Amino acid sequence: MTDKEIDQETGTETTGHEWDGIKELDNPLPRWWLWVFYTSIVWSVVYWVLMPAWPAPPGLQGHTEGVVGNSERVNVAADMDALQASRSGLYGELQAAGSYQAIEADPVLFRFALAAGDSAFGNFCATCHGAGAQGFAGYPNLNDDDWLWGGTFDDIRHTLVVGIRADHPETRFSQMPAYGADGLLSREEIRQVRDYVLNLSGETGFDAAALEAGGEIFAAQCATCHGADGTGDPSQGAPNLTDAIWLYGSSPEQVETTIWRGPYGVMPAWEGRLDDPTITALATYVYSLGGGQSADTSEGAAGE
Ligand code: HEC
Ligand code: HEC
């Protein structure tokens, strides 16, 4: 820097920078700005000392802890505990309630159970059963009142606890044979019994001789699980084959494949993964979706 250049108009020194004849004045920074600047520097030093701030040098784990020992992880854990404590009253009541009637009889508890069930359903069940519990091929729709393993509150709750073909020691279990893959029936016989099953659920236009042959195969092979009339057996998870509700699909090709391969639907067991009150809330929610089968139909009918 040689000579200082003074601007004629203002009498202020310039920085010496010039753009297209416009020069920059070297005014001091405003005082308020400087104060904010210095205060921020002091504040940041205080902050580094008090709070977790600096990452550890390369090769070391973690970060500086700060003298007040603040930790978001600890804060979240404390918030969760507080939340759990604020809910524990209603959760405790759910745990104690046991039956659907007892939960339904208490409007506050019932609303709580439905809300908690709805939210847990979104977290744990919707991936397989769909956000609206509408189901997909192989994953049952839980809105209808058609149940594989029984539709009372206790049946549903038990299904949730032990799962279906799951790793729980008391899991609900049954296994339909793979009639084609294991060579129990020929392709021809499988087509005959397929037509018979489709006819049971109301489809028509089949060859009478094939239907008769299919009926004989059904009585010999399938009736033990699906019932002589094909209406199913919830104690074995064997679906009703006479209605229009299909778990795996109703096209002739799909039904043939189902019989050929033998279906093997797996639903996880939730005991140990979810706590008791949450399972009760889920059972309440699912039971209310389906419309709800009474444990004792005669009593249910009288109550309605
Ligand atoms: C990994 C996929 C999967 C998840 C997650 C899952 N389910 Fe299932 N669920 C199934 C399958 C598959 C079946 C049918 C099993 C069968 O074929 O018997 C089933 C069956 C059921 C049944 C029995 C339906 C009947 O007709 O008897 C109920 C009730 C049920 N699920 C509720 C739930 C709830 C509540 C959750 C969340 C806690 C859940 N499921 C999570 C796959 C799943
Ligand atoms: C050991 C018991 C058992 C026997 C025997 C049995 N089934 Fe099944 N069947 C089941 C069970 C259990 C399911 C449901 C499996 C699942 O949910 O994954 C089923 C499912 C089906 C389905 C699927 C229904 C749907 O909604 O998609 C068809 C079709 C069917 N069986 C036909 C037959 C025919 C035909 C025979 C005889 C050739 C037969 N089953 C024999 C237990 C049996």
Q: Indicate the residue type of 268.
A: P
Measured in whole angstroms, the distance separating CA 244 from the mean position of its chain's CA atoms is 27
In a 10 Å sphere around its CB, with 0-12 CB exposed, 13-18 middle and 19+ buried, how is residue 155 labelled?
buried
| pLDDT band, very low/low/confident/very high, at 33 (cuts 50, 70, 90) | very high
> Could you tell me if the CB of 289 is within 6 A of ligand 1?
no
Q: What's the gap in Å between 108 CA and the centre of ligand 1?
A: 27
Residue having the nearest C-alpha atom to atom 17 of ligand 1: 265
Q: What's the gap in Å between 128 CA and the centre of ligand 1?
A: 7
Q: What's the gap in Å between 58 CA and the centre of ligand 1?
A: 48
CA angle 145, 162, 140 (to 5 degrees): 30
pLDDT digits (tens, 9 = 90+) for 170-220: 999 999 999 999 999 999 999 999 999 999 999 999 999 999 999 999 999
154-179 mean pLDDT:
97
Query: If we measure between CA atoms, which residue out of 145, 118, 146, 152 comes closest to residue 132?
Result: 118
Q: Are 280 and 274 in contact (CB under 8 A)?
A: no
pLDDT at residue 291, as a whole number: 67
Question: Which phi-psi region, left, alpha or beta, contains residue 150 (left: φ > 0; alpha: ψ -120 to 50)?
Answer: left
CA distance 244 to 59: 65
Residue having the nearest C-alpha atom to atom 39 of ligand 2: 222
pLDDT at residue 297, as a whole number: 41
Which of 80-94, 208-222, 260-274 has the lowest average pLDDT? 80-94
Ligand 1 atom at shortest distance from the alpha carbon of 265: 17
Higher pLDDT pick, 86 / 205: 205
Percent of the chain having pLDDT more than 70? 94
Ligand 2 site-directed mutation target among 171, 218, 226, 233, most atoms within 8 Å of CB: 226
pLDDT at residue 131, as a whole number: 92
Higher pLDDT pick, 292 / 277: 277
- Which residue shows structure tokens 């090709």? 253
pLDDT at residue 80, as a whole number: 82
Q: Are 100 and 109 in contact (CB under 8 A)?
A: no
Q: Are 303 and 104 in contact (CB under 8 A)?
A: no
How many residues can be counted in the chain? 304
pLDDT exceeds 50 at position 303? no
| pLDDT band, very low/low/confident/very high, at 62 (cuts 50, 70, 90) | confident
279-296 mean pLDDT:
83
> Could you tell me if the CB of 149 is within 6 A of ligand 1?
yes
Q: Indicate the residue type of 47.
A: Y
Query: If we measure between CA atoms, which residue out of 273, 250, 246, 238 comes closest to residue 125?
Result: 273
pLDDT at residue 237, as a whole number: 97
Q: Are 221 and 179 in contact (CB under 8 A)?
A: yes
> Could you tell me if the CB of 263 is within 6 A of ligand 2?
yes
The tokens for 144 are 């209808």
pLDDT at residue 21, as a whole number: 85
| pLDDT band, very low/low/confident/very high, at 11 (cuts 50, 70, 90) | confident
CA distance 267 to 237: 12
pLDDT exceeds 60 at position 271? yes
pLDDT at residue 302, as a whole number: 32
| pLDDT band, very low/low/confident/very high, at 2 (cuts 50, 70, 90) | low
pLDDT digits (tens, 9 = 90+) for 129-145: 999 999 999 999 999 98
Mean pLDDT estimate for the chain:
90
